[in-house]
């Protein structure tokens, strides 16, 4: 499982002009699922992300977690995190999990993040989405489990 975190001051996800998720201070989490992934990886990443100290304290140091700043999150399924562009000019996505595995794990990851006390919205699995991100920093972090 791969997660690309973007610290934001504001973000929203829309599908056909309908807002599906909107947050202020927090994280947009682009989440990719691989074929060997399970709930164990989702649980590890949810706990890690909720407690990862990437928000600034009063001294300007990245010393506070999403939970500590009472931030919010948006989870967006992102199979393209498993793109392999080593050969040719068109990426291959064969390393990404099929939708029957990926969809429930993305939903479970969001549930586990909520269980960590993080208000969490989601994009729409498999939909063409418009993701508006106002990066804070910018701070972008890659996690893999």
Choosing from 79, 109, 116, 122, the catalytic residue is: 79
Is 78 a known active-site residue?
Answer: yes
Phi and psi for 137 in degrees, rounded to 5?
125, -70
| Catalytic residue from among 78, 116, 120, 122 | 78
Is 79 an annotated catalytic residue? yes
Q: CA-based angle 71:19:98, to the nearest 5?
A: 85
Residue 101: which H helix or E strand, with range?
helix 99-115
Question: For the CA atoms of 39, 45, 50, 51, what is the dihedral angle to 10 degrees?
Answer: 130
Residues annotated as catalytic (active site), given as ranges: 78-80
């Amino acid at each position: 499982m791969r997660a690309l975190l973007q610290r934001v001051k504001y973000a929203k996800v829309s599908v056909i002009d309908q807002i599906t998720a909107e947050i202020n201070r927090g994280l947009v989490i682009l989440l990719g699922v691989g074929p060997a992934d399970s709930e164990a990886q989702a649980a590890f990443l949810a706990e890690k992300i909720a407690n990862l100290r990437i928000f600034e304290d009063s001294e300007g140091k990245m010393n506070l977690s999403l939970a500590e700043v009472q931030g919010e999150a948006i989870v967006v399924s992102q199979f393209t995190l498993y793109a392999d562009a080593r050969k040719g000019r068109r990426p291959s996505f064969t390393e990404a999990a099929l939708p029957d595995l990926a969809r429930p794990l993305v939903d479970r990851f969001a549930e586990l993040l909520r269980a960590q006390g993080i208000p969490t919205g989601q994009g729409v699995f498999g939909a063409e989405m418009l993701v508006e991100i106002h990066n804070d920093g910018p701070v972008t972090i890659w996690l893999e489990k």
